Amino acid sequence: MFRRLLKWLPYGPTCLILAWGAAIVSGLYVASCYDYVLFHVLLAVAATLVGCAVLILFRNLKCSEAELQRARQAAESANRTKSEFLANMSHEIRTPMTAIMGYTEHLSRLVEAPEQVEAVEIINRNGGYLLTVLDDILDLTKIELGKMRIESAACSPSSILGDVVSLLRVRAAVKGLPLTLQYVGPIPETIHTDPVRWRQILVNLVGNAVKFTETGEVRIVVRLLAGGGAAAKLQCAVIDTGIGIEPQQLGGLFQPFHQADTSHLRCFGGTGLGLAISKRLAQFLGGDVSVRSAPGKGSTFTATVAVGPLAGIPLLDDPAAAARASGPATPAAGPAIRLTGQILLAEDGPDNRRLIAMLLRRAGAEVETADNGKEVVAKALATRPGWGRRYSDPRKTYDLILMDIQMPVMDGYEATRRLRAEGYIGPIIALTAHAMKEDMQSCLDAGCNGYLSKPIEREKFLSAVAGYLSARAAESRAVGPPPAPAAASQGLP
């Protein structure tokens, strides 16, 4: 009973006990003048009360600390669960998107009537928007799980800025908005940063400026911030004359899923993830994203990134001219990619299996399919002696295995491990909707030679497959055909 009382005794009575003890101690002096025994009795009572109060206070503090720890663990667990759910959701949506985008591209080559062409373009445009949303969700998941990997490489800031302007100038022109790029002072010819992530930040900020501006203009003002002993940074200010943002909305603007005004959601769309991701990416790159805005007058979003050491790097007084002079010409369309070889395609989804097999066959490859990992293992190992096949049978030799990862009966990881354990040395390429960096590493750890993510883009996909087939052919020419096995050795390995 006393323990239960100690556990639930609140802080108020604890303070009251301390007050009683203080009152008794203050009366000790008076008691000591009249009765020596009473003095010691009061002293003992006061000491006991103060001791009880200290013990109760300590126990309450300990309980509070334990409760805070449990609450923190519960919050971290909930955050991990949410992030894992988002990653799984991204995978589940990416899988059907492979079929949707793939067959849309196939249809675009077949239709000719203007209304049919327009319908296909609408499907393709909205599919691309959905993929952008998925990429944003995936980026947010990586950031929250602490798995966002940032690269550092030398890149040309003027080239990246020029690419961003070229990409979004078409969108701005549709709305009649001039999109201009202005340099204030010289900037480095090259900087060290993650060019992909920096470009992502710029595309998001400039894209938002175009989206929320109906009249006026959008400007990008670039300058180098250096001096004062601080590390040099490149600053890009995106200035628009759009709708602006209310002051009370600015505080939560960089929070995930936040919209400056929910009424704008119906007019402009969006998930509210772009700014949150951009700010965190900029911080990873040694900078930040900030905003100044006035309702009805427009907004200025300023992004900074660290540029790395500048020793020996030229400063360009006219970066735009240098970018035009050194920029590559628009590449001409190359010849259609042709494939030569035998490919085993493992894919459990019938729609995706049919689509990918069709793309490979149209490019010239011979394709066999399997819908689970166990079937892949059986077919791949049947190419070896002792499994009912001679080395001289060329139609049973697979030059490449495209391995889906999430399959019934046996998944792609286990199938690849089984094949490698049995001594299969042919190239195996993971083909999966899992798009996290660690998913790629898991595929490589299982024994895959490479990794391709869904949804696939026809040209990039066929180009990657052609590269693996070429490497396989070169390896085969270097090694030469295997010798015919002796009759006595025909058996299970």
- The pLDDT assigned to 29 comes to 53
Look up the CATH number of domain 342-479: 3.40.50.2300
Mean pLDDT of 381-391: 59
* Residue 488: predicted pLDDT: 34
Q: Does 10 have pLDDT greater than 60?
A: no
* 480-485 average pLDDT score: 47
Going by their DSSP bridges, the two strands 428-432 and 400-403 should be labelled as: parallel
* CA pair distance 403, 416, nearest whole angstrom: 8
Q: How many helices (H) and strands (E) does the chain have?
A: 15, 14
- Does the structural domain 155-323 have CATH classification 3.30.565.10? yes
* β-bridge partners, 294: 298
pLDDT value for 260: 52
pLDDT band at residue 388, thresholds of 50, 70 and 90?
A: very low
For the chain, state the CA radius of gyration.
33
Given a cut of 90, whether residue 196 has pLDDT beyond it is: no
pLDDT tens, residue by residue, 83-101: 667 667 766 777 788 888 8
Sign of CA dihedral 108, 111, 117, 119: negative
Bridge partners of 413, per DSSP, are none
To 10 degrees, the CA torsion angle through 78, 79, 81, 82?
A: 120
User: pLDDT grade, residue 182 (50/70/90)?
Assistant: very high
Percent of the residues in the chain that have a pLDDT greater than 70, as a whole number: 71
Are 320 and 236 in contact by the 8 Å Cβ rule? The answer is no
pLDDT in tens, 295-310: 888 999 999 999 988 8
**pLDDT above 60 (res 377):** yes
Of 218-227, 314-323, 376-385, least confident by mean pLDDT is 314-323
pLDDT at 470: 87
Burial (0-12, 13-18, 19+ Cβ within 10 Å), 402:
buried
* pLDDT band of 390, cuts 50, 70, 90: very low
Confidence of residue 288 (pLDDT cuts 50, 70, 90): very high
pLDDT value, residue 485: 39
Give the Cα separation of 484 and 123 in Å (integer): 54
Least confident of 65-74, 82-91, 119-128, 247-256: 82-91
Per-residue pLDDT of 113-143, as tens digits, reads: 888 888 888 888 778 777 777 777 777 777 7
pLDDT of the residue at 329: 45
Q: What is the pLDDT of residue 492?
A: 29
Q: What is the mean pLDDT of the chain?
A: 78
Q: Would the pLDDT of 233 be above 90?
A: yes
Structure tokens that stand for 435 in this block = 């798009």
Residue 385: band (very low, low, confident or very high) from pLDDT cuts 50, 70, 90: low
SS3 416: helix
Question: In the chain, where are the structural domains located?
Answer: 2-79, 86-144, 155-323, 342-479
Distance between CA atoms of 7 and 261, rounded to whole angstroms?
Answer: 47
Neighbours of 437 (CB within 10 A): 11
Q: Name the amino acid, one letter, at 367.
A: V
Structure tokens at 67: 């409760």
Stronger pLDDT, 356 or 18, i.e. the higher one:
356
Per-residue pLDDT at 328 exceeds 70: no
Q: With bands split at pLDDT 50, 70 and 90, how would you rate the model's confidence at 23?
A: low
Look up residue 153 and give its amino acid: A
Check residue 289 and give its pLDDT. 93
Top-confidence range, 122-131, 147-156, 266-275: 147-156
Strand intervals (E) in 71-204: 153-155, 179-184, 187-188, 191-193
